[in-house]
Structure 1
């Protein structure tokens, strides 16, 4: 049993000064203020000295840990490594993500995530499959050797085993025939969310997809048809739609902070943060996997914690970030001007709700999992607990 005292608690809805949070058996048991706190016998007291106590972050798109990359080594050990690498920074729930690859690697990755999900169901609740069903025009850093339309029987094979582990599938709807799209909707597990990404769809095509069972859009602005006066494109469709929710990469490279602020003003709680991390802690300098060749590029203006560097491929295309989700929160606040309360919800409460776990994750409330992050006032992690167990 732990009792966190003298904390500035963000519950997911409001702030509590001089807050106290008691946890036991992996769950949050009680929240109170310093004036009303009583401590049961046998409790470990953790004095935060005014630091933030935040809900554990929920990252719905990242590819690797400190050294290992799921596409390269689709094994349970890789999944565990990815989780451990990000959890030390406060990401207590994540979806390991694979980029466009062969059906065999997709299936091996799904099986690996399924193993770890059985061990850690709320830490790794599933996988995000990004591609390979993309529009080649918007493939970004994805290898042309794998970007494709589904082969005959491929969708059936993809969902034949471990279908429930696919929590998000990103694809470009305009490359599928209407028959393929309807087949996909019938085959997918009810917990699988379809997300529009790497798409050159028109406004009309994107809107039709959103209205026909595609509730998400992947990394807003990046690898999608942009907004123009005579063709609003995918970006315009996201802005104009009443319910679609979009992820955004707040690493100060993928999106100018002003565009993040504009998206937040238009979308509000329909916008959520992802790290899109290729590697993190510290970033791996180079990586090669077939035609997928990338290198870490430090910021040209020198070391700057607000611009942590990026990954690019040999064509100069962005190929992922080198950060974790708490960095996205900090950049969203400091550079995009998003209120801290909202930025934290975009990294915890909202993504937890999106994957159907909003009743257990993303808030500090009685009955929720004791996934907690201690951070100083500059939003740097000082301690992490998952299901009440200290990780960092």
Structure 2
């Protein structure tokens, strides 16, 4: 049997009336007779969100406990996420060793978001732009350290500051093994251009932990906004970047914009005290603070498209920044591709995820869906 979702469908950066057929966990052109589910007016079926920067979710964090990492993966489909890069902030060598073992040993559930290779946010960052990173855990980009991190983690993304001693060499060493990103940096535009020329292809959380846009002192942000070879990631929670500014960045980057959450354990959880690494952080449900410093987000990635749309960006472009753009950057197959895995999300008219499938398995379904689907954990 097949499940056929009929209604508005996002493919790439275009929304059109159509249908998505799920058969044996994959997207099919057609298949055996199946149950047709007609989406309500204004609802959209799209490829599942891919989040390149997840520190935690639902009270659990990505760190040194494999069961906590599994809880993050199991919770993310509630936010429409079907794949994510577990993200490690800077820590000691011993902490990195424990985290590597935890990532390796995290139990895998078919009703969880797919865990991609990690995003190493650090430790090769500029201390004056440490943000919530412990400055004592930051270090220069010594070749032996860079190679060891690449060998141990085989990351999907490595964020570093190119102006550090050895920074540009680190970009060159890593560019064939992962996406090299620039972040937590004091780099100016010239240094940003040098990083792009050396192989950097992503700017990590634009406008945060970096210099902004000044009339006569352009920064690395300007270099990445201007270069069509590079993608730019943006935290779309409306807190890290004002929605009006986020819309300006979206218009400047177009298909190069990648929405990320930078979610921490407080995301998808009640207000309260949580941890980011070993750092205690406090969430009021909207923002997460370590003292007076923003320390990740209390929102998952599903907040991003709605934030952009409210600021004037069209729905297809806003959703593509959380679906198509991260897949292209990581070299993943396009979403909803024929014979590809049925990793998809059904969004209501307010862009709230109502149904998430991972490999055709129901990973999240609202109890008040206007149509029936199998229980969570079961294939459609």
Residues 1-392 of structure 1: pairs in structure 2 closer than 5 A: 1-17=1-17, 19-30=18-29, 40-41=32-33, 43-50=34-41, 51-71=43-63, 74-115=64-105, 123-150=114-141, 153-163=144-154, 166-177=155-166, 181-182=168-169, 185-186=172-173, 188=174, 190-279=176-265, 280-283=267-270, 285-288=272-275, 292-298=279-285, 309-314=286-291, 316-334=292-310, 336-357=311-332, 359=333, 361=334, 363-392=335-364
Alpha-carbon distance, 1:162 to partner: 4.1
Change (3 A) 1:47 1:234: same
Q: Is this contact kept in 1: 2:264–2:276, CA < 8 A?
A: no
Alpha-carbon distance, 1:207 to partner: 1.1
Write the distance in 1 (CA, Å) between the matches of 2:114 and 2:71.
Answer: 12
Q: Is this contact kept in 2: 1:6–1:49, CA < 8 A?
A: no
Write the distance in 1 (CA, Å) between the matches of 2:182 and 2:277.
Answer: 26
Q: Is this contact kept in 2: 1:132–1:171, CA < 8 A?
A: yes
Q: Is this contact kept in 2: 1:113–1:124, CA < 8 A?
A: no
Alpha-carbon distance, 1:288 to partner: 4.0
Alpha-carbon distance, 1:184 to partner: 5.9
Alpha-carbon distance, 1:2 to partner: 3.0
Write the distance in 2 (CA, Å) between the matches of 1:350 and 1:82.
Answer: 23
Q: 3-state SS of the aligned residue for 1:332?
A: helix
Q: 3-state SS of the aligned residue for 1:385?
A: strand
Q: 3-state SS of the aligned residue for 1:350?
A: helix
Alpha-carbon distance, 1:286 to partner: 0.9
Q: Is this contact kept in 1: 2:76–2:113, CA < 8 A?
A: no
Alpha-carbon distance, 1:240 to partner: 2.4
Change (3 A) 1:113 1:185: farther
Q: 3-state SS of the aligned residue for 1:159?
A: helix
Write the distance in 1 (CA, Å) between the matches of 2:106 and 2:276.
Answer: 24
Q: Is this contact kept in 1: 2:2–2:32, CA < 8 A?
A: no
Q: 3-state SS of the aligned residue for 1:88?
A: helix
Write the distance in 1 (CA, Å) between the matches of 2:337 and 2:56.
Answer: 31
Write the distance in 2 (CA, Å) between the matches of 1:146 and 1:162.
Answer: 18
Q: Is this contact kept in 2: 1:117–1:123, CA < 8 A?
A: no
- Aligned-residue CA RMSD (Å): 2.4
Q: Is this contact kept in 2: 1:145–1:291, CA < 8 A?
A: no
Q: Report the TM-score, using the length of structure 1 for normalisation.
A: 0.85
Alpha-carbon distance, 1:44 to partner: 4.2
Q: Is this contact kept in 2: 1:12–1:364, CA < 8 A?
A: no
Alpha-carbon distance, 1:122 to partner: 8.2
Q: 3-state SS of the aligned residue for 2:152?
A: coil
Q: Is this contact kept in 1: 2:61–2:276, CA < 8 A?
A: no
Q: 3-state SS of the aligned residue for 1:325?
A: coil
Write the distance in 1 (CA, Å) between the matches of 2:324 and 2:276.
Answer: 35
Change (3 A) 1:105 1:345: same
Q: Is this contact kept in 2: 1:67–1:284, CA < 8 A?
A: no
Number of corresponding residues: 361
Write the distance in 2 (CA, Å) between the matches of 1:118 and 1:382.
Answer: 23
Alignment match, 1:301: none
